[in-house]
Structure 1
Amino acid sequence: MLSCLLGLRQPKLDAETRAFFRDACPWGFIVFREACVSREQLRALCADLRDTVGHDAIVWIDQEGGRVARLKAPEWPTWPAAGKFGEIYAKQKDAGLEAAYLGYRLIAHELRDAGLDGDFAPVLDVPVEGSDKIVGDRAFSADPKIVALLARAALNGLHDGSVAGCIKHMPGHGRATADSHLALPKVGAQEIDLANDVLPFTELADAEAAMTAHIVFKAWDPDRPATCSPVVIDEIIRKRIGFQGMLMSDDLDMHALQYALNGGLKERAEAAVGAGCDVVLQCSGVLKEMQTTAAGCRELAGLPLVRARAVEAFAKRPPREFDAGAGWARFKQLMADFAPA
């Protein structure tokens, strides 16, 4: 299996893409809105992906709720952004924790029903005043301790539904004053402030997977974004935060890496894997770009393979017993009870 996770933006595999996936054998996949037409169609697509690569690959999705949701109404329910759970927590702590757990337990229920078993959530970023709005209400709170508590509840909800989670964007995107989809953010904060940003990640360092941030942290490595920085990955993520799970890059297509590195997707993949990422993420769904990315990847072996197997264990175990009807009723009650006056 190659150390990559590739995107799909079509509802059905074409012959060329199927042949590439069969030969390259990526570790996993991520599906986007264009690939999610109906429940029956998505189940068939996920089964086809796994059959093509010949292993029970995890099929991931970005389903945070709020702005970042690939499963859309009317085919699927609508979930609030993570910030809503923080608002409830501010009014009543137990209700906030219950809402966060239930929200992500219900997401897991819907994902499993559609053939999906990995979610790029929860977000652990801590937004600060003056930062770019790309995080905004995707964050649970501006208080790192509350972020950690609610993110733990959310991750537990995914796990109980037999869905692997991925905490993001390590070591913290909340202080960036630019959107890394469009530019290369550079954070000049000092250690005392950055300690605030990494706290939620430290509290959830036992998570099975994490995603890096395409951000330059001048205090740690002024020349390279975290995704491509051996210093940030080894000294901050692995040692200081204590994260020993599978580390994935954010999308290699994002403009941040275009500004940070010379070369194309092959060079970006090589830089990320060389810096210590176990797996790279490339989301365009364009065959030629996926082929170029794969050329910069490695076969999963050694510790990265051990970490991959650990992530698969979260995604492939049976879900805990759950009454989805009762869960939705309780969740809707919580949303109504704590709706703005």
Structure 2
Amino acid sequence: MATDPGLRRLGLRTLLAAFPGTSAPDWAVALLDEGLAGHTLFGTNVADRDQVAGLTAELRRARPDVLIAIDEEGGDVTRLAHRTGSPYPGNAALGAVDDVDLTRSVYAAIGTDLAATGVNLNLAPTVDVNTADDNPIIGTRSFGADPARVARHAAAAVAGLQEVGVAACAKHFPGHGATVADSHLELPTVDVPLAVLRERDLPPFAAVVAAGVQAVMTAHIRVPELTGDGPATFSPAAVTGLLRHEYGFRGAVVTDALEMRGAAESAGGIGQAAVRALAAGADLLCVGADVDHALVEAVVAEIAAGVRDGRLAAGRLEEAAERTATLAAWAKSGNGAAPLDTTLGYAAARRAVRVEGSLTGLAGPLVVHLESGHSIAEGRVPWGLLPHLDGTEQVSVVAAEASAEALLGRAGARPIVVVGRHTHRATATRALIERLAAARPVAVVEMGWPSAWRPVGVRAFVTTYGASHANGRAAAEVLGLAAR
């Protein structure tokens, strides 16, 4: 059965699609003229800022009120700077400094960068309260483990972005910080009473609603007492009952990517996930990163089928399209403004560095970089001290495959600086660091989410609260290893 043109257009008005490459294919532009709400840009769409500005201008020529979204969180999650690492520290570093004016300024700078490239919807800030040290997907993307601190900085981040005309999208409602699974790969469960959720996870969302956030993103997580067997994205109790009615949110509810297993597998496919999300109260649906014309048409056809067979009320679809249009009308187009002071992020990262122990006796070290994986949210972004070193030798190793004896032999009489992320998580990493510390003066630079673990025998433990380009520069400076 052919899709009714009116239903097709309404369905398109609720979708954020995506496309591969640094220029827009014809279908991606044509769909905008046909009603598509907009596109999300990923690292694969970014060569440099001038190219992004040209790309967004092309999309805006197809429809001036197009939503052009991006995940530009600063810190470990960056798209504009995915080739080098972000010039801004992320939320964990900003939370460690705990200066809300600084947080607002950093997010205003990020927003200015986005506006200058024509992006008008930032899928940030992450306002989850990271209460699980081994959370595989949030970690340094969070302002911290204290709900009140996270709430203060969440509101400041929203204010910073929106004061320069970029819509903020706070995520991931009702809180992804207590999970030990990645919703890109499975459906995590947070099995706590609602009273715990209200006290621990929800205060930052109350704060961003009060701050006038334009959009809130749902999480593909299961909270049995609230969402039953499915994710929050599909839960009327979570989206309509809790977020809309109890917290009074009137902006656009945006879904996390529907291609993620936490959504698609729960619903039986991306199209079915779209219908369930809209029925629950979502307004703008992120299809994902791996999108082509056929997928968009399949999702739109499923939305139309959902209206015809009663899974989705026509009035609910119309409401979603209207809310998305309201968001697009608020979001200002790129204004070509020059970026703010480019030193701001580096100065902020330096304020976040914490040093335990003593840095004396660590001059002229061998730097041992512990290679690590990356989350899907982060992607492959360079990190570490190497771009900032003054000629100091660095060797990169995988901890589980490295020989302490070989590293000690290479170091000779030199001290050793070990640079890693989440060094507490792997037995091999902990053992390697402590073996090195038993034989040489050792400093550890922790660039992931810090834990209570401190290796036996180390001279110093340096925490950066993130692995952005700015964090790496700050660590190199603290150690006296930065190039002049």
TM-score category, normalised to shorter length? 0.7 to 0.9
Asked if the contact 1:131/1:178 (under 8 Å) is kept, the reply is no
Specify the alignment match of 2:46 in structure 1.
36
Specify the alignment match of 1:57 in structure 2.
66
Specify the alignment match of 2:353 in structure 1.
339
Asked if the contact 1:99/1:331 (under 8 Å) is kept, the reply is no
Q: 1:13-71 deviations in whole A, cap 9, x for unaligned?
A: 22344334433x2112110011111222211211222223x342121100001221111
Aligned counterparts, 1:277-316, within 5 A: 277-283=282-288, 284-297=290-303, 303-316=319-332
Q: 1:178-219 deviations in whole A, cap 9, x for unaligned?
A: 100000112211122111211111122231101101111101
> In the comparison of the two structures, how many residue pairs are matched?
329
Specify the alignment match of 1:226 in structure 2.
232
Specify whether residues 162 and 83 from structure 1 end up closer, same or farther in structure 2 by C-alpha distance, changes over 3 A only.
Answer: same
Asked if the contact 2:43/2:82 (under 8 Å) is kept, the reply is no
Specify the alignment match of 1:9 in structure 2.
20
CA distance in 1, matches of 2:333, 2:156: 19
Letter in 2 for 1:251: A
CA distance in 2, matches of 1:79, 1:315: 23
1:160 counterpart (155, 160, 163)? 163
Letter in 2 for 1:148: A
Letter in 1 for 2:40: I
Specify the alignment match of 1:267 in structure 2.
272
Specify the alignment match of 1:19 in structure 2.
30
Q: Which runs of 5+ in 1 are unaligned?
A: 90-95
Specify whether residues 101 and 43 from structure 1 end up closer, same or farther in structure 2 by C-alpha distance, changes over 3 A only.
Answer: same
CA distance in 2, matches of 1:240, 1:127: 23
Specify whether residues 42 and 334 from structure 1 end up closer, same or farther in structure 2 by C-alpha distance, changes over 3 A only.
Answer: closer
Asked if the contact 2:114/2:334 (under 8 Å) is kept, the reply is no
| 1:116 counterpart = 2:116 | no
SS of residue in 2 equivalent to 1:251: coil
Specify whether residues 249 and 74 from structure 1 end up closer, same or farther in structure 2 by C-alpha distance, changes over 3 A only.
Answer: closer
Specify the alignment match of 2:470 in structure 1.
none
Specify whether residues 12 and 88 from structure 1 end up closer, same or farther in structure 2 by C-alpha distance, changes over 3 A only.
Answer: same
Provide the TM-score with structure 2 as the length reference.
0.63
Q: CA deviation at 1:322?
A: 8.8
CA distance in 2, matches of 1:13, 1:59: 12
Aligned counterparts, 1:105-254, within 5 A: 105-129=108-132, 132-195=135-198, 196-205=200-209, 206-254=212-260
CA distance in 2, matches of 1:81, 1:323: 18
CA distance in 2, matches of 1:255, 1:40: 34
CA RMSD of aligned residues (A): 2.5
SS of residue in 2 equivalent to 1:227: helix
Specify whether residues 337 and 226 from structure 1 end up closer, same or farther in structure 2 by C-alpha distance, changes over 3 A only.
Answer: closer
CA distance in 1, matches of 2:303, 2:243: 21
Specify whether residues 338 and 140 from structure 1 end up closer, same or farther in structure 2 by C-alpha distance, changes over 3 A only.
Answer: closer
Specify whether residues 76 and 220 from structure 1 end up closer, same or farther in structure 2 by C-alpha distance, changes over 3 A only.
Answer: closer
Specify the alignment match of 2:416 in structure 1.
none
Quote the sequence identity (%).
29
CA distance in 1, matches of 2:298, 2:169: 25
SS of residue in 2 equivalent to 1:147: helix
Specify whether residues 260 and 337 from structure 1 end up closer, same or farther in structure 2 by C-alpha distance, changes over 3 A only.
Answer: closer
Specify whether residues 171 and 77 from structure 1 end up closer, same or farther in structure 2 by C-alpha distance, changes over 3 A only.
Answer: closer
SS of residue in 1 equivalent to 2:18: strand
CA distance in 1, matches of 2:180, 2:348: 34
Specify the alignment match of 1:92 in structure 2.
none
Between stretches 278-287 and 115-124, larger displacement belongs to 278-287
2:92 counterpart (83, 86, 92)? 83
CA distance in 2, matches of 1:245, 1:200: 16
Q: CA deviation at 1:113?
A: 1.2
Between stretches 213-222 and 295-304, larger displacement belongs to 295-304
Specify whether residues 10 and 335 from structure 1 end up closer, same or farther in structure 2 by C-alpha distance, changes over 3 A only.
Answer: same
Specify whether residues 190 and 131 from structure 1 end up closer, same or farther in structure 2 by C-alpha distance, changes over 3 A only.
Answer: farther
Q: 1:131-172 deviations in whole A, cap 9, x for unaligned?
A: 522100100011111111111111111112211110101111
| 1:98 counterpart = 2:101 | yes
CA distance in 1, matches of 2:344, 2:128: 27
Letter in 2 for 1:33: G
Asked if the contact 1:265/1:296 (under 8 Å) is kept, the reply is no
CA distance in 2, matches of 1:128, 1:77: 25
CA distance in 2, matches of 1:83, 1:149: 13
Provide the TM-score with structure 1 as the length reference.
0.88
CA distance in 2, matches of 1:323, 1:134: 29
SS of residue in 1 equivalent to 2:37: strand
Letter in 2 for 1:45: L
Asked if the contact 1:198/1:241 (under 8 Å) is kept, the reply is no
- Please state which structure has a larger fraction of its residues in helix: 1
Specify the alignment match of 1:47 in structure 2.
57
